[in-house]
Structure formats: C-alpha cells, structure tokens
Structure 1
Amino acid sequence: MWRQLTSHWRLHKYSILLVLASIALYASFAYNLHREDFIKLLTLCIALFFLCYKIIQFQKWNFKFLLGAGIIFRLVFLFAEPNLSQDFYRFIWDGELIYNLKNPYLYLPKVLIEQKDLAIANAHELYKGMGDLSPKFYSNYPPLNQLIFSLSALLGGKTILGSVIVMRVIIILSDIGVVYFGRKLLKSLNRSPHLIFWYFLNPLVLIELTGNLHFEGVMLFFFIWSLYLLSMNHWKSGALVYALSIMVKLVPLLFLPLFLSHFKLKKCILFYSIVGGTMLSLLLPFYSPQFFANYAETVGLWFSNFEFNASIYNGIKKIAIAYDAKPWELIKTYGKITPLITISMVFLFTFLRKNKNLNALITSMLFILSIYYFISPTVHPWYIIFLILLTVFTDYRYSLLWSASVILSYWAYSQPDFKEHLGLITIEYIAVFGFLIYELTILRNKKQLFCKN
C-alpha cells in the first residue's frame, strides 16, 4: 500500500500539489469571501483558471484523476451559503410554497409576507435575503426546477443550510451526469473525451453552479443526455429528455426550430409532439387561468427592464444617450426588438445552414446562443456556462476565454448600487470578440487549405 502511494506521488506529485492549491483557493472563495471584495475575488479566479489549465494539461488522459479532482472541488462548497447570489433564497421560498400546496406562480412574496399565519419555514429570513427586487415578481422558474426546490424544502430539515445542501448535492450529481454523457457523446462524434473536463473543472462552472446554486447544470445534464440519445438514434427518448431540459431552464427552447433541418418531416413532427406533450404534462399541476399571464409578465421583465454586462446594448445605449434618449425608454424599446432579432437568427440558422449531422447542429446552437447573449441587455456570468459545454463539442474555444473574462463583470457586486464599470466590460468583450474573429478567420483558412489540398 505504502509503495503504491509513494509511486503514485512520484508520478503525479505536481498535479496533486495543483489540486491541493485549488482546494485551498476554493475553500477561501466559499467561506472567506465577501462579494464586495472585488480584488480578492478577481485574484482567486485568475489563480483558479491557471490551475485548471495546468491540471488538465498534465492529466488530460487520466479520467479518474480529473473526475476525482472535480468532485473534491465541489464538495469544498458543500456547507457554504452562496456568497455571490441571493437567488437561492427565492428557490427555497418557492420550494416551501409547493411543500405547503401553494402555487408559486400565483403568489407574490411581498403579499404573502403580510399574512400572520404564513406556513413557510424561515419566511422572514428568506424574504429579507431575496433583496428588494425578487419579492415584487411572480416566480419565473419552470416546473421541473420548482419540483427540485420543493424537494430541498422536504429534505432540508426546515433550515436554510439544509435546503442549500440538498440543492447543492443535486447540482453536483447533475455535473457528474454531464461528464458521463458528455464523454459518451464526444466519443460518438469522434472527439477526444478529455475535452469534457474543460466544462467539469472550469472555475466559473464550479463557482456559479455548485457555489451559487444556479440550475444551469441540471438543465445541461438533461440537454447533453438528450443529444447523446439523438447520436444513438434514440430520438423518441431524446425528445422526452430534451423537454425535461426545457422544464428546468427555458434556454433550450431557442434550438427547437433547428430540428426542422435535422430530421425528416414525419420524424420532426413526432419529435415536437413528444417534446410538447412532456412539457404540457409537467405544466398541468401548476395550471390556473392566471398562470400564463403571470409567467409571461415576469419573463418579459428580463427583456425590457433589466440590464447587466451587456455588449452591443451598451454601445447602442451610449450613442442613444448622446442624442438625448431616455435610458428607461430605450431598454423597453430594445427589449421588444431583441426577441425578434433572436427569432430571425434562429430561422436563418435553421434554413440556411445544413444541420443534418450532430456536429453541425451543435455548432449552430453555439452561434445562436452566442448571438443571443451578444445582443441581450442582461448577461449574468452563469449564462456563459451553456456556451462552455457547447464549445466542448465544436472547433471553437472563444467561450472558454469568455468564461474567464466575464469575471470582470463581478465588479458590480462590489458596489452598493450595483453600478457597472464600463471600462472592465469593454475589456471583457474586446477579448471575446477579438478571439472569436481570430477563430472564425483561422478555421475558415484551414478549411480552404484542406479543400485545395
């Protein structure tokens, strides 16, 4: 036993030291960081991205080592309350509502909190933790996400930390599932299976999913499982699982039109029927006459009221204000135009690009989602995580750079009024757009050279 340990140490000592250093930094991030301390946050993130790169570089063919490291990093966060996001308070609130047989799509927290007999554990602490904004709006989290919230309320022992731990375990298991199906899909597409660790060990993924309890990881588990089933020609079960992905987060809805050019007509109709039927079955327990109106109202606010870490929108806003435009009027107008542009781009990629094979389909998804984020007025750091996973299955790597540069947007968290630093955001997007243009040029030239030869 001792000889084996000694031999293992000699073979992997540098990688083990890198892992130990990462554990220390993640522990500092989880238990000793206030989001107002931007310099410390930035320093930790830079160091963690460097260590991530070196660990994958040294051990990219050692699946067990990388999987073990990723799991250990996640377990570091297990007992920590999220320190960069308040959203988890609303998650637990919604879960408590369902646990008490109340529909979270029908009740505003600001109204419920006035009730004397409110049967929600830790109600006042949860309400205060949400901040000023969330209590004013109906819940906008899809039904399957709500069921996870209710599970955390059921198993959380009526404590906030208990519910946090339950949600965190679900997210960790989902990330392990992403690795499992992601490796299978990479092999199916004749790509190196170690590439999945650019997702699994990415510090942004760890910090925002395991650390801050965003449920993109659960959505991506179902999403990548669905794509794997499609690669195996199990498209019926793939459709069902794809619907589950949408019912955690709505983002995969964007890609549904692409299947018009991926399947033949009869198969496409059946695929959409299964997706639609599964979604409806999950929506039915929450249905009421007010459901759609409340949900549409809340989702619409994200397009027309909020702005954070925007790229193109910030440029348009700067020009518009120079011509005496009113910012609050501009965001509402822009919010009405953005969905139209997005839908147009989706159909352009559907009908002007060949999406028959899965490689082309995933690349179309990557660019559609990237364009959507480029024009969106709100791009929270955890949004980039979907791009990170899609990138793994393509020839492009700009979203990996984006996952590092988006850390600059955390500056706003250090400000009492969440005011953004436009200089830092400009640096972020110059890096992203610059590398994207470089990749588009290089890859096009390589293809042209290959065709000539």
Structure 2
Amino acid sequence: MFEKLKAYKIQFLFTISILVMYGAFAYDLQRHDFIKLITLYAALFFLSFKLIQLLKTDFKILVAVGVLARLVFFIAEPNLSQDFYRFLWDGRLLAQGLSPYLLTPDQWVAQGNIPINQSTELLEGMGSLSRAHYSNYPPVNQFFYWLSGLFSGNSILGGIVVLRLSIIAADLGIVWVGSKLLKAMGLPAQQIFWYFLNPFILIELTGNLHFEGVMLFFMLAALYLLYLKKWFWAAVLWGFSVSVKLVPLMLLPLLFQFLIKPAKPSVQTQDFWRYVKHHLPASLWKSVRFYGVAVLVFILSFSPFLNSALLEHFSSTLALWFQKFEFNASVYYVVRWIGYQVKGYNIIATAGKILPVIAVVALLALSFFRKNRSPQQLFTGLLFGISCYFALSTTVHPWYLATPLLLSVFTRYRYMLVWTFTIMFSYAAYRETAVEERLWLVAVEYILVIGVLVWELLKQKPKKQVV
C-alpha cells in the first residue's frame, strides 16, 4: 500500500493542488478580478490535463478526482454568472403550479402579488435584463428548476444544491455513456476526461449551474442508441435534449446521412446517393420517423404550458439573442465594424437576421455535401456544424462551448481544447460596475483557435500501415 502511494505521489500532489485551487475559485473569487481568475484557470488547465496524461489507464481514479472536484463547489454560490437566480425564480413559480412563460418578473412585480419566497433577493440577483423578459428555458430544463422549487422553495442555497446535483449526475452519465461509445468506436475511453476533467466544464456547469451538461447527456445517449440501431429511443432522447436547450434542434439535418445509410455493410462500398435514389421511400422513411418522433417529443413537452401567449412570448425572447444581444462574437464583430464604416451605426438588427440564415445554409451544406455516414464522420460533421453556428453568432458565452467540446472528444480535432482555454478571456469584459469588452483579447481568443483549426485541417492525415 505504501509503495503504491509512493508511486502515485505526483498524481496525489496534483490532485490536492487542483482541489485547493477549485476551492479558491469557488469561494474566494469575484468575477471582475480577471488577473486572479485567469491565473487560477491556467494553473487548473495545465494540472488537470497533466493528471489525465499521468493517470490515463486509471479510469476509476480519474472519475473519483472529477467527482471530488465537483463536490468542492457543493455549497458555493455561482460567482461568474447570475442566471441561476432566474432558474430558481422559474422553479418556484412551477412549484406553486404557475407557468414561468406567461409573465416577466417585472410584470409580477407590477401586479403587486408575487407568490414565491425570497422574491426580492431573486429579483435583485437576476438583474434588470432578465427581469424584463419572458423565460426562454424549454420544459425539460424547467423540470429541474421545478425540482429546486419543490425541494428547496425557502432557501436559495438549497435550490443551488438541487440544481448542482442534477448537473453532476448528468456529467457522470456522460462519462458512462461516452466511455462506452468511445470503446465501440475504437477510440481510447480516457478521452472522455477531456470533457469530464476540463476546468471549463467544472467551472461553467457545476460551478455556474448552466444546464448544457444535462442537454449533452440526453444528446450523447441518443447518439449511442443510434449507433446501436435503436432509433426510436434515440429519437425520444434527442427530443428531451432539445427540450433542455434548443441547440440539438438545429443539428438534426446533420444526422440525415447516418439515418438513411444502408443496413447491409456491403452496400457501403457502392455510390451512396445512387443507393438512396434507388431505395428512396425506405431511405426517407428512416429519417422522417426519427425526426418526427424527436420533434413530437419536443412539442409535447410544452403541453402543460399551452396557451395563446406561449409561442409569442417564447419566440420573442429567443429573437433577442440574435437581434439585440452581443458578446464575445467573431465574424459578427467584423461585420459590425464594416457596418460602422459604411452605415455609421450598429447594424445588429440586420446582421442578426442574415447571419442565422448563413448558419443554416452552412449546416445544410455540411449535411448533404459532406460524408456523415460513419460514427467518426457524424461526430466531425456535428462538431463543424456547431462551430460554424457559434462563429456566426452575435453572442458566445463561455458555457456554450460545452457542446462542441464534447463532440470533439469523438473526433481527431483538438482545437476545442484550445478554445475552452481562450474563451475565459471573455471574462475580462466584466468590471466592478460595468461590462466593457476588451476587443484585443477577443481577437487573441479567436486568432489562436482559428490558427489551431487551420493547422489541423491542413496537416496530413497519418498514412495507413500496410500489414
């Protein structure tokens, strides 16, 4: 036993250092202290990936380290995001049998009868922007908020703990499903720790209570079931995923080729689209049934909240993200600069309508003009698709990158690991009393990521060995 501990002393020291630094991050950091934030994050980033390298064959130990690191945040109030106040607000409304989609928090205040506890603290915490808009969180996401309201409707900290346990459970599910899928694809199972032990995931999901991890668990489980040819339950889980966050909805076209590929492996060597043409009804049916079930599950998830105002309130709030909000963008900031030179004002209202259309065209092009038939090709297509979408978005908050990060684990591309580091530069925008982006840091963030991506695209693929 002593010899084993001695052999693992470096790993043990790394683990203790990681846990201590997460403690500092969770309990002794303010968002506007960027120097401290980026220093801690850089150290965590280096030590975490070094630990993965040292313990790559010790799967259970790496899982244990990931769980311990998450438990460090157990009673910490999120310090980089205030969104959780709105999560708790929606959850407490649901626990009272009220729809979170009908009124904005400000409208509840105007009515003068707020039916939840600690409403003043929640309203002050979420801020004026959130207070003024309707909830845009889909129903399965709201289910977890409801749990926080049901089990801890009188304590903000209690609600935080309930949400955090849900997110931790989802991450453990991702490790379980992800390792199985990696093995099935002939890839090293320890690659899942590029997600599970990435400080970005621990801080943004477990720490700041963003529910991308829950969405990703459902999406990854759906992809695993598709790999096992269990299309119905895969479609159901994909619908659940969309009902946590809407991102998987736009990725549906990229599944098309994988869904309609021939059942017999021998046919794979023939021209794919010629096969589809000759078997068009059967091929289309394979895709239509999957899309139909997934979309139906998503629509049905709204059934408890159906009323005439639901669609208007939900869609109007979503439109704001494209036409009003801007943060840490790449292509859009170049377009915005051109707009200032030509028009003399911010053209976000126009660009926010055009860029999503370009993103959809790019997704469709990847869906039909790129091979997405094998699991490796599919994951790469999904990764490029979501990357294109974020490249054209007007707003890219750090936690958004959880989706492309997890997808990259199943591919040969590593630019997402770089991006999960450089995305933290965006926190330099938060001052003590204002938000003001440092565009030179935004430029550094994207130049590094694009540079690594271009290098990966241009480098030669390894030659196959002749046996």
Q: Same fold (TM over 0.5)?
A: yes
What secondary structure, in the 3-state scheme, does the structure 2 residue paired with 1:410 have? helix
AA aligned to 1:432 is V
Shift of 1:318: 2.0
Any residues of structure 2 matched to 1:134-153 within 5 Å, and which? 134-153=130-149
Q: What residue in structure 2 maps to residue 166 of structure 1?
A: 162
1:253 aligned to which of 249, 253, 267: 249
Asked if residue 13 in structure 1 is aligned to residue 30 in structure 2, the reply is: no
Shift of 1:7: 2.8
Shift of 1:117: 3.1
Asked if residue 312 in structure 1 is aligned to residue 331 in structure 2, the reply is: yes
TM-score under structure 2 normalisation? Answer: 0.93
1:126 aligned to which of 116, 122, 130: 122
Counterpart CA distance in 1 for 2:259 and 2:64 is 38
AA aligned to 2:150 is L
**Aligned in 2, Cα 1:350/1:451: closer, same or farther, shift over 3 Å?**
farther
Any residues of structure 2 matched to 1:165-184 within 5 Å, and which? 165-184=161-180
What secondary structure, in the 3-state scheme, does the structure 2 residue paired with 1:113 have? helix
Q: What residue in structure 2 maps to residue 428 of structure 1?
A: 445
Counterpart CA distance in 1 for 2:331 and 2:3 is 54
Any residues of structure 2 matched to 1:22-421 within 5 Å, and which? 22-264=18-260, 265-327=284-346, 330-414=347-431, 416-421=433-438
Alignment coverage as a number of residue pairs: 444
Counterpart CA distance in 2 for 1:158 and 1:386 is 33
Contact residue 73 and residue 207 of structure 2 kept, 8 A: yes
Shift of 1:411: 0.4
Counterpart CA distance in 1 for 2:110 and 2:335 is 42
Q: Which digits, 9 at most, give the CA deviation of each residue in 1:79-118, with x for residues without a partner?
A: 0000000100000000111111111111110010234432
Contact residue 84 and residue 413 of structure 1 kept, 8 A: no
Shift of 1:167: 0.2
AA aligned to 1:311 is S
Q: What residue in structure 1 maps to residue 461 of structure 2?
A: 446
Counterpart CA distance in 2 for 1:187 and 1:305 is 44
Counterpart CA distance in 1 for 2:439 and 2:217 is 34
Counterpart CA distance in 2 for 1:307 and 1:415 is 20
Contact residue 305 and residue 331 of structure 1 kept, 8 A: yes
Query: Is there any run of 5+ residues in structure 2 with no aligned partner, and where?
Result: 261-283
Q: Which digits, 9 at most, give the CA deviation of each residue in 1:238-279, with x for residues without a partner?
A: 111111111100000111112322223222111112112211
Q: Which digits, 9 at most, give the CA deviation of each residue in 1:54-74, with x for residues without a partner?
A: 101100110011000000000
Contact residue 113 and residue 127 of structure 1 kept, 8 A: no
AA aligned to 1:204 is F
Counterpart CA distance in 2 for 1:11 and 1:113 is 61
Contact residue 322 and residue 353 of structure 2 kept, 8 A: yes
Counterpart CA distance in 1 for 2:144 and 2:88 is 10
Counterpart CA distance in 1 for 2:344 and 2:329 is 18
Counterpart CA distance in 1 for 2:410 and 2:12 is 28
Counterpart CA distance in 2 for 1:238 and 1:256 is 12
Shift of 1:451: 10
**Aligned in 2, Cα 1:196/1:111: closer, same or farther, shift over 3 Å?**
same
Counterpart CA distance in 2 for 1:415 and 1:439 is 39
Contact residue 247 and residue 279 of structure 1 kept, 8 A: yes
Question: 262-271 vs 378-387, which deviates more?
Answer: 262-271
AA aligned to 2:335 is I
Question: 43-52 vs 351-360, which deviates more?
Answer: 351-360
What secondary structure, in the 3-state scheme, does the structure 2 residue paired with 1:263 have? helix
RMSD of Structure 2 on Structure 1 (CA): 1.4
What secondary structure, in the 3-state scheme, does the structure 2 residue paired with 1:133 have? helix
Q: Which digits, 9 at most, give the CA deviation of each residue in 1:1-31, with x for residues without a partner?
A: xxx2x23311211011001000000000000
Counterpart CA distance in 2 for 1:93 and 1:188 is 42
AA aligned to 1:336 is K
What secondary structure, in the 3-state scheme, does the structure 1 residue paired with 2:213 have? helix
Q: Which digits, 9 at most, give the CA deviation of each residue in 1:269-294, with x for residues without a partner?
A: 11112112211221111111111111
Counterpart CA distance in 2 for 1:237 and 1:323 is 51
Shift of 1:302: 0.1
Counterpart CA distance in 2 for 1:259 and 1:64 is 33
Contact residue 92 and residue 153 of structure 2 kept, 8 A: no
AA aligned to 1:313 is Y
AA aligned to 2:304 is P
AA aligned to 1:214 is H
